[in-house]
Amino acid sequence: MICSAMLPPTLELVGCFDPEVMTSFIAARADLLQVHATVLSATEHHITLHTRGDPDLVDAFEAACALAPGDNVVFECTVPQSTSPERKVVP
């Protein structure tokens, strides 16, 4: 088992959140898309995740997170430069 403190962030969300609602939403979307998603931190204005899985499904997961449920609003959805090897598509 990998400690979540050791995982690099692969997705960062900035906005106005209810952290409990967003983490539940993130878990549900990850299950639906069969993507592994670990919430590294979640506050009212910033959520950091580590994701891995099929690159196309991870992209779909990111799009779903950007939509956010209910009164949650995502202003910015970014993928840090140092993404994991699982995100890189090999031609």
Tens digits of per-residue pLDDT, 16-68?
999 999 999 999 999 999 999 999 999 999 999 999 999 999 999 999 999 99
Q: What is the rounded distance in angstroms from the CA atom of residue 17 to the CA atom of residue 24?
A: 12
Supply the pTM of this predicted model.
Answer: 0.79
Please report, for the chain, the start and end positions of each structural domain, with discontinuous segments joined by +: 18-82
pLDDT of residue 76: 93
C-alpha distances in Å from residue 45, one per residue of 76, 78, 87:
10, 14, 25
pLDDT at 79 over 70: yes
Q: Is 8 helix (H, G, I), strand (E, B) or coil?
A: coil
* Cβ neighbours for 30, distance < 8 A, ≥ 6 positions apart: 36, 37, 51, 61
* Cβ neighbours for 59, distance < 8 A, ≥ 6 positions apart: none
